[in-house]
Amino acid sequence: MPLMQHELESQTFDLRPIQLVNKAMQTAQAKKILIVDDDRDLCLGLHIRLRSYYYDTCFAHDAPSAISTALSEMPDLILLDIGLPGDDGYSVLQRMRAFPILEGIPVIVMSGRDKFTHERGSLEAGARRFLPKPIDNLRLLSGIRTLLS
Low-confidence residues of the chain, pLDDT below 50?
A: 1, 3, 8, 29
Domains along the chain with CATH numbers = 33-148 (3.40.50.2300)
Torsional class of 126: left (φ above 0), alpha (ψ -120 to 50), beta (otherwise): left
pLDDT score, position 11: 56
SS3 24: helix
How much is the pTM?
A: 0.80
pLDDT score, position 112: 85
d(Cα 65, Cα 69) in Å, to the nearest integer? 6
